[in-house]
Structure 1
Amino acid sequence: MSSATAPPNPDRDHKKDTAPWASGGTMFAGVLMMVNGILGVLEGIAGIAKDDVYERIGDYVYKFNLTTWGWIHLVLGILVAVVGWGILKGASWAKATGVALAALAIVAQFLWLPYTPVWALISIAIGVFVIWALCNDRSDDAVQ
């Protein structure tokens, strides 16, 4: 039987049901992680270098020293940028690590809300998109 007249194989043809924009979202998620990571590094450097760069808006339950926040953002930003690079390179470890780091970054941005409320909300939204895109990517499931 030739391949042109072969009956449809659901195991082989399952990628046809995947929306192309969902698989392209993985590439975009990698770019967003790199950009968000680099901005996190800059945010961390600003918090470490000078404590009066950020001003707290109101009182907040989760209080850390700004230098501590700077180190948290610096380390997390480096990790997020490296994992974003791994996603762009197609590394097998990068997707699961990206989901975990995006979730951790969402929590960190939620705790960072009193210092930069608008950017924290934007970063949370980016993290949610990254998790969605990485969880919906089916490129590794393809049967060769």
Structure 2
Amino acid sequence: MARKVTAWVGWIWFAGLIMLSSGVFNLLSGIYAVGARDIGIVEVGTQILLLDVNSWGWIHIAIGVLLIVVGICLLAGQGWARIGAVVVVGLNMMTQFLYLPLTPWWSIVVIALDMVVLWALVVHGEEAEQAS
């Protein structure tokens, strides 16, 4: 028996668009970090933590490219893209969590958006596959 596709399938398109925009922002911030060659200084209690921003830049570039490619494939209705999107968005959440000491507000916003994207992909992903 075929299931009826509901308006909830729009959440998958929302997820794809958020992935595209997040990928572009990751790409741009990664390019800046690679070009800046700065050292991030974070105070943790009474200790100081030095972070190599250049390495984080390359990580953000790689994840940004993955987010863009998988986001485009998700919007195109590729069946594999839903699973790929869950993996890539999960990776993005982990990198943002690790980047939290340097950019706390931005990381919190991205983590929250990634949680919404994961919810959309997991709960309403089958409908998107049926619609395409």
Indicate whether the TM-score tops 0.5: yes
Corresponding residue of 2:112: 125
| 1:114 counterpart = 2:101 | yes
Where is the helix percentage greater, Structure 1 or Structure 2? 2
Which structure: larger Rg?
A: 1
Q: 1:35 aligns with which of 9, 15, 21?
A: 21
Q: Give the structure-2-normalised TM-score.
A: 0.85
Q: 1:102 aligns with which of 89, 102, 110?
A: 89
Structure 2, unaligned stretches of length 5 or more?
none
Partner Cα separation in structure 2 for residue 141 and residue 32 of structure 1: 19
Corresponding residue of 2:10: 24
The verdict on how the C-alpha distance between 1:129 and 1:56 changes in structure 2, with shifts beyond 3 A counting, is farther
Partner Cα separation in structure 2 for residue 65 and residue 71 of structure 1: 11
Instruction: Look up the SS of the partner of 2:43 in the other structure.
Output: coil
Q: Give the structure-1-normalised TM-score.
A: 0.79
Partner Cα separation in structure 2 for residue 110 and residue 92 of structure 1: 28
Corresponding residue of 1:4: none
Partner Cα separation in structure 1 for residue 76 and residue 50 of structure 2: 37
In the alignment, residue 84 of structure 1 is paired with which amino acid? Answer: G
Report sequence identity in percent. 33
In the alignment, residue 139 of structure 1 is paired with which amino acid? Answer: E
The verdict on how the C-alpha distance between 1:49 and 1:72 changes in structure 2, with shifts beyond 3 A counting, is same
What is the deviation of 1:63? 6.2
Partner Cα separation in structure 2 for residue 105 and residue 57 of structure 1: 21
Counterpart contact for 1:23–1:136, Cα < 8 Å: no
Partner Cα separation in structure 2 for residue 58 and residue 92 of structure 1: 44
Q: 1:66 aligns with which of 53, 59, 62?
A: 53
The verdict on how the C-alpha distance between 1:116 and 1:141 changes in structure 2, with shifts beyond 3 A counting, is closer
Partner Cα separation in structure 2 for residue 24 and residue 115 of structure 1: 34
